[in-house]
Amino acid sequence: MNTTPTPRIAIIGAGPGGLICARILQQHGITAAVYDRDAGPAARDQGGTLDLHADNGQIALREAGLLEEFFRLARPEGQEMRQMDPAGTILFHHVPEQGERFKPEIDRGRLRDLLLDSLQPGTVRWGHALQTVSGPAEGPRQLHFTGGTTIEADLVVGADGAWSKVRRALSQATPRYSGVSFLEAWFHDVATRHPDIAELVGQGGAAAADGDRGLFAQRNSGDHIRVYIIQRVPADWITAGGLTPQATDGIRALLLERYRDWSPRLRRLISDNDGPYVDRPIFALPVPHAWEHNPTVTLLGDAAHLMPPLGVGVNLAMLDACELALAIACHDTIDEAIHAYEETMLPRSTEMAQLLDGAAGELLSTELPDFATAGNH
């Protein structure tokens, strides 16, 4: 980066996209601060497992100098996939070949720790919940955080996910409900406490669907399994049924009735979970989603192109972050870097979003879509 003085870069969101962007910038001698609303790295559960693909997510990790460390942490056996019918009959079974590394699984928490540990101390500023972005388009920008803190930046990168606050500086678009909802269930110490479910799921994932309902079970590290109960329902289906998200027994009874024709073994993915369910309605941004070029603000990942969870979300976020960081490193001004980045990112994300527009329903299809990537968004 040849500009003088050094631009002040603020990345909002310490997810994989924001962190990999900061890491690659630092690899090129460029300073960036990452601001995240969480109180600290252990403030909340980071979610389940995800697969990083050789043609996008792994490209970013290679550029960050972290690919080999990723392979040491990843679970290539997690590429195993079983697809079943509601009777529990296996229709398709993929077992990864020895050395297969196209899309190995890694827990979100482990990936985040890998990225956090790679950054210079103090890069991430925890406890900073962004409220608004103000200031002229040409900069500098003011970032206003909950609690009254305000900082100035010459570039604001919105890596703050589906409900991005940075997006509001560029676009009026808001995510829309897809008509499909996930309910997450957890199973712990599965080898001892849930051996039948452990055998059913295998080392990777297992899925079944009947057109309106689906189940996707996914092996995590540490002897855990997460199950996603997938339904075509209104977003408020729990409260519409007279329940609250904390009413575990009531939700379970309702689900068992809805899945009453499924095999008893598969129904155990609904009935035997440890602890409460987690409601995850699926939202997506309108397609296409683009904005007028702005010389001081840009977006990456879900903030730019929230799509149904069909295995592309984190991978595209990391590729976005990689390309943005390299553009900043290779151009004389932030404005030129944003132009170069968006010229590639926007057409790519639009093409993928059009491909997946309305595709959340494919998670329930009996046509056997690739459930192996469900839940990885």
d(CA 376, CA 105): 10
| 212 labelled ligand-binding | no
| 302 labelled ligand-binding | yes
8 Å CB contact between 35 and 11: yes
Cα–Cα–Cα angle for 141, 283, 45, rounded to 5 degrees: 80
- Dig out the tokens for 11 from the structure: 């990345």
- Dig out the tokens for 16 from the structure: 């994989």
Give the sign of the dihedral formed by CA 355, CA 360, CA 366, CA 368.
positive
Can you tell me whether residue 121 is helix, strand or coil? Answer: coil
| 44 labelled ligand-binding | yes
Cβ neighbors of 143 (< 8 A, separation 6 or more) are 10, 12, 35, 130, 133, 150, 151, 152, 153, 156
8 Å CB contact between 66 and 23: yes
Dihedral of the alpha carbons of 300, 109, 372, 282, in degrees to the nearest 10: -60
| 75 labelled ligand-binding | no
Binding residues for NADPH: 44
Binding residues: 44, 51, 108, 302
Binding residues for FAD: 51, 108, 302
